Amino acid sequence: MGKVYDIAIIGGGAAGLYAAAALSSYKKEKGGIEAILLEKMHRCGLKIGITGKGRCNLTNTKPWNEFATHIHPKNVFLKNAFYASSNTAVMENFERMGLPLVVERGDRVFPQSMKALDVVSTLERHILQGGVQLRKNAEVSSLEKGADGVFSIICSDGFECSAKKVIVATGGLSYQTTGSSGDGYAFAKGLGHKITPLFPSLTALKPKNYKEEFYGISLKNVSVQLAVNGDVVQEEFGDLDFTNGGIEGPIGFKVSRKGVHSIINGQKVELRLDMKPAVSLEQLAKRIEREAAEIKGDKLKGILPKLLPAKLVKLFIEGNNGLSMTNLAQKLKCWVFPINDYVGYERCVVTAGGVSLQEVSQKTMESKLVPGLYFAGEVLDLDGDTGGYNLQIAFSTGALAAQSAAASLTR
d(CA 57, CA 101): 10
Which one among 21, 41, 134, 400 touches ligand FAD, defined by CB under 6 A?
41
9 forms beta bridges with: 37, 167
Sign of the CA dihedral with 388 first, then 389, 394, and 396 last: positive
Which one among 111, 130, 179, 259 touches ligand FAD, defined by CB under 6 A?
179
Q: Which residue lies nearer to ligand FAD by CB, 18 or 26? A: 18
Taking CB under 6 A as the rule, does residue 175 contact ligand FAD? yes
Overall residue count recorded for the chain in this entry: 411
Which one among 52, 207, 249, 252 touches ligand FAD, defined by CB under 6 A?
52
With CB atoms as reference, the residue minimizing the distance to ligand FAD is 13
Which one among 9, 22, 27, 47 touches ligand FAD, defined by CB under 6 A?
47
Q: Kindly determine how many residues on this chain lie close enough to bind ligand FAD according to the rule CB under 6 A.
A: 40
Which one among 39, 118, 124, 366 touches ligand FAD, defined by CB under 6 A?
39
Site for ligand FAD in 7-36 (CB under 6 A): 10-16
Which one among 75, 86, 122, 174 touches ligand FAD, defined by CB under 6 A?
174
Q: How far is the CB of 266 from ligand FAD (least distance, A)?
A: 27
Where are the strands (E) in 32-107, listed by range? 35-38, 59-60, 71-72, 101-104
Site for ligand FAD in 362-401 (CB under 6 A): 377-379, 388-391, 394
Q: Which residue lies nearer to ligand FAD by CB, 10 or 132? A: 10
d(CA 132, CA 171): 21
Q: Considering only the stretches 48-56, 216-224, 269-277, 296-304, report the one whose residues sit in contact with ligand FAD under the rule CB under 6 A.
A: 48-56
CB 312 within 8 A of CB 346: no
CB 409 within 8 A of CB 7: yes
Q: Write the CB contacts of 256 (distance below 8 Å, at least 6 apart in sequence).
A: 200, 201, 202, 203, 204, 205, 248, 342, 348
Q: How far is the CB of 27 from ligand FAD (least distance, A)?
A: 21
Q: How far is the CB of 399 from ligand FAD (least distance, A)?
A: 12
Site for ligand FAD in 114-153 (CB under 6 A): 139-140
Q: Considering only the stretches 97-105, 168-176, 233-241, 261-269, report the one whose residues sit in contact with ligand FAD under the rule CB under 6 A.
A: 168-176
Q: Write the CB contacts of 407 (distance below 8 Å, at least 6 apart in sequence).
A: none
Which one among 111, 130, 171, 353 touches ligand FAD, defined by CB under 6 A?
171
For 70-105, give one letter per residue: b (16+ CB within 10 A) or e: bbbeebebbbbbbebbbbebbbebbeebebebeeee
Residue 85, classed as helix, strand or coil, is coil
Question: At 74, phi and psi to the nearest 5?
Answer: -140, 85
d(CA 165, CA 26): 15
Taking CB under 6 A as the rule, does residue 292 contact ligand FAD? no
| Cis peptide bond N-terminal to 371, omega within 30 | no
Q: How far is the CB of 189 from ligand FAD (least distance, A)?
A: 14
Taking CB under 6 A as the rule, does residue 224 contact ligand FAD? no
CB 367 within 8 A of CB 373: yes
Q: Which residue lies nearer to ligand FAD by CB, 284 or 380? A: 380
Q: How far is the CB of 59 from ligand FAD (least distance, A)?
A: 7
Q: How far is the CB of 52 from ligand FAD (least distance, A)?
A: 3
366 forms beta bridges with: 374
Site for ligand FAD in 301-330 (CB under 6 A): none
Question: At 266, phi and psi to the nearest 5?
Answer: 80, 20
Q: Considering only the stretches 27-35, 176-184, 286-294, 363-371, report the one whose residues sit in contact with ligand FAD under the rule CB under 6 A.
A: 176-184
Which one among 34, 118, 124, 183 touches ligand FAD, defined by CB under 6 A?
183
Which one among 24, 180, 396, 404 touches ligand FAD, defined by CB under 6 A?
180
Q: Torsion over CA of 368, 79, 239 and 319, rounded to 10 degrees?
A: 40
Query: Which residues would be at the binding site for ligand FAD (CB under 6 A)?
Result: 10-16, 38-41, 46-48, 50-52, 56-57, 139-140, 169-171, 174-175, 178-180, 183, 349-350, 377-379, 388-391, 394
